[in-house]
Structures are given as structure tokens and as C-alpha cells.
Amino acid sequence: SQTIHQWPATLVQPVGSPLSLECTVEGTSNPNLYWYRQAAGRGLQLLFYSVGIGQISSEVPQNLSASRPQDRQFILSSKKLLLSDSGFYLCAWRGANEQYFGPGTRLTVT
């Protein structure tokens, strides 16, 4: 069965610091992968999706970037965090139509 791993689970970072969040998927090959952010009390906002190695589509302009260096690895990065980057970051892969989420990273920017 497929499994998604994300780390770290929680992170507290100061404004202006860099960010790197990692997501890996097991049990499937060439998955469509997604990064979402969920702010407190808000819905999920799609940030990036990838259909293959090196292929990244951005849904919203922001100071975040994503990379897919390997088939089952998806990385979310920032060079300088903003307070507004705080939130719950979720990686997901897509099945037939539905999506399955990793456990998430809770980021607090101070």
C-alpha cells in the first residue's frame, strides 16, 4: 500500500529564515504530487503540483518554491520566511480521482 512521509512534523522558524520541507511517497511510481497549505480555520490552498521529476506547476504567487528531484520526493522551500507562511503544510498524492495526504508539517513563523 502507498504511504506518504513528511518531515519535520513541527517547525518553529524566525522571519527571514530559510525553509525546507520534505515529502516522500512509498508504494507507487510516478505519482502526481501536491503541496497544500492550511491556515488556521481556513480551507486547503493548493500551492504546487508535480506530474513528474523536474515538473512543477505553481498555483499561487508566493515566496515559496517546490522541487521534485526524484520520482517519489517532493520538496517545498523558501529562501526567506514571512509571518504569513505559518500554517499546516500537507503533501498529497493522487489516486484515481481522490487524494491521500501525508501527516503534515505544522510551521510557525515567529
Partner 1 sequence: RKEVEQDPGPFNVPEGATVAFNCTYSNSASQSFFWYRQDCRKEPKLLMSVYSSGNEDGRFTAQLNRASQYISLLIRDSKLSDSATYLCVVNDYKLSFGAGTTVTVRA
- State the residues that interact with partner 1 by CB under 8 A: 36, 41-44, 46, 49, 88, 90, 97-104, 106
CB of 49 to partner 1, least distance (A): 8
For 14, which DSSP code?
-
CB of 83 to partner 1, least distance (A): 20
Q: Which is nearer to partner 1, 41 or 69 (CB)?
A: 41
| 25 φ, ψ (degrees, to nearest 5) | -120, 140
Q: Which is nearer to partner 1, 17 or 57 (CB)?
A: 57
DSSP three-state, residue 45: strand
Q: How far is the C-alpha of 19 from the C-alpha of 56, rounded, in Å?
A: 18
